[in-house]
């Protein structure tokens, strides 16, 4: 009897797709360690691909150099380093390094993890809202230039107070209102002392404020003798004035805040009292005011116990907090620019789109 023909094995062209569909065998304890060539999206492979692209290679080197130098300097110095890291990270977000991984028991695991944390080092930064607003200023050429000018004038143990005050006055006059108010009126959690200290240091209290608290009446006398300060003080008293015992304010909150910020850089420069709350005050005292004690306390209380000013500051901080709680449909920078009432800046309609990608990355990093 003729034996039936044995079935022919399927051709290799058909076997290959079938083999690709099969799951990989489990890795036993006695089997050799996986190499990066056997892993999917290994950071070692991803870096090798990145180094073949000059743009990606340069961005990775810049990020590696930047993140390796991250430390904890003074709050006023922090934004410059993260901004450089973000720029490099922005260039790498669509590269082969995006989403690369490392696996346990792989060869060269230490090298892989080093690459991984170079890409993800920004997770370890302190992304409080005051730092975010400082970074928004850093990303804007004009704001960054003005901020660096007063930072240089107000830093160092031998800073000249009048020069510092002059640069502060220039910053709060010429920087976009959205940036100036964002940096000074950024919200902080009560327990976040670093955020609160960064907010308080926006006005550089070590240089801009007198080392020893003078009489509040003496500050007022000096202010009234200077035409600019006198007009700014009258503006503040007009627009932040409670009209009745119920605390009804004379004008809207936005005008009160502008008047308040207008005093920064004058001898009547106010500031936050501490890093744990949003209370503000003049750097002065009413001790030894004699028969003018009540007048002095009224002047001091117009800053520290003013319901109109306190409510305006709280409302602006709440607004700033809401900016960073939105989804990606509208960038923070776009909203900030629309709030700007300076007519000269309305023509800069292209600015939000220019920074939208960078700000999206900032917001994503903040929630890692």
Residues forming beta bridges with residue 311, ordered by sequence position:
none
The confidence band for 85, taking pLDDT boundaries of 50, 70 and 90, is low
Contact 166, 110 (CB under 8 A): no
Q: Give residue for tokens 């910020």.
A: 261
- Does the pLDDT of residue 91 top 60, yes or no? yes
Confidence bin at 121 (pLDDT 50/70/90): low
What average pLDDT does this structure show over 166-171? 96
Q: Write down the residue that tokens 């830093």 correspond to.
A: 155
Secondary structure letter of residue 94 according to DSSP: T
pLDDT at 191: 84
Q: In whole angstroms, give the CA distance from residue 42 to residue 27.
A: 17
Q: Which two tokens stand for residue 56?
A: 């990606």
Query: Is 0.95 surpassed by the pTM of this model?
Result: no
pLDDT of residue 23: 36
Reported confidence tier of residue 90, pLDDT bands at 50, 70, 90 = low
Mean pLDDT of 319-327: 75
Higher-confidence residue of 354 and 221: namely 221
Q: In this predicted model, what pLDDT tens digit does every residue of 217-270 receive, in sequence order?
A: 999 999 999 999 999 999 999 999 887 777 678 889 999 999 999 999 999 999
Instruction: Output the pLDDT for position 254.
Output: 93
- Contact between residue 279 and residue 301 where contact means Cβ atoms under 8 Å apart: no
pLDDT band at 345 (very low <50, low <70, confident <90, very high): very low
DSSP summary character for residue 39: S
Burial tier of 69 (Cβ tally within 10 Å: 0-12, 13-18, 19+): exposed
Fill in the DSSP letter of residue 77. Answer: G
- Residue 285 β-bridge partners: 215
Residues for the chain: how many in total? 368
Mean pLDDT for the chain? 75
Confidence of residue 305 (pLDDT cuts 50, 70, 90): very high
193 and 276 in contact (C-beta within 8 Å)? Answer: yes
Would the pLDDT of 330 be above 80? Answer: no
Buried b / exposed e over 350-366, threshold 16 CB at 10 Å, is ebbeebbebbbbbbebb
pLDDT digits (tens, 9 = 90+) for 175-190: 999 999 999 999 998 8
């Amino acid at each position: 009897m003729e034996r039936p023909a044995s079935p022919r094995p399927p051709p290799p062209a058909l076997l290959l797709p079938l083999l690709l569909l099969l799951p990989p065998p489990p890795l036993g304890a006695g089997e050799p360690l996986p190499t990066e060539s056997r892993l999917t999206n290994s950071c070692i492979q991803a870096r090798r691909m990145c180094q073949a692209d000059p743009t990606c290679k340069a961005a990775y080197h810049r990020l590696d150099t930047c993140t390796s130098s991250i430390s904890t300097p003074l709050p006023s110095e922090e934004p410059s380093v993260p901004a450089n890291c973000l720029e490099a990270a922005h260039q790498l977000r669509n590269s082969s390094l995006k989403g690369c991984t490392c696996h346990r028991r792989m060869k060269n695991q230490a090298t892989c993890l080093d690459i991984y944390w170079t890409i993800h080092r920004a997770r370890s930064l302190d992304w409080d809202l005051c730092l975010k607003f400082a970074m928004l200023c850093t990303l804007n050429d004009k704001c960054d230039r003005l901020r660096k000018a007063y930072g240089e004038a107000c830093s160092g143990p031998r800073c000249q107070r009048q020069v510092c005050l002059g640069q502060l006055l220039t910053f709060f006059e010429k920087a976009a209102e959205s940036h100036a108010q964002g940096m000074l009126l950024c919200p902080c959690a009560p327990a976040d002392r670093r955020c609160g200290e960064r907010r308080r240091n926006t006005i550089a209290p070590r240089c801009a404020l007198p080392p020893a608290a003078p009489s509040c009446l003496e500050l007022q006398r000096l202010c009234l003798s200077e035409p600019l300060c006198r007009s700014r003080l009258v503006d503040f008293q007009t627009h932040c004035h409670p009209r009745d015992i119920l605390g009804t304010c004379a004008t809207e909150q936005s005008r009160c805040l502008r008047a308040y910020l207008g005093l920064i850089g004058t001898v009547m420069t106010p500031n936050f009292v501490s890093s744990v709350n949003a209370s503000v005050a003049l750097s002065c005292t009413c001790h030894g005011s004699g028969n003018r004690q009540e007048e002095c306390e009224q002047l001091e209380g117009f800053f520290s116990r003013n319901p109109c000013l306190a409510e305006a500051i709280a409302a602006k901080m709440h607004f700033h907090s809401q900016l960073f709680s939105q989804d990606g449909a509208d960038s923070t920078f776009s909203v900030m620019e629309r709030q700007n009432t300076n007519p000269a800046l309305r023509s800069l309609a292209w600015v939000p789109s220019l920074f939208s990608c960078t700000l999206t990355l900032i917001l994503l990093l903040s929630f890692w």
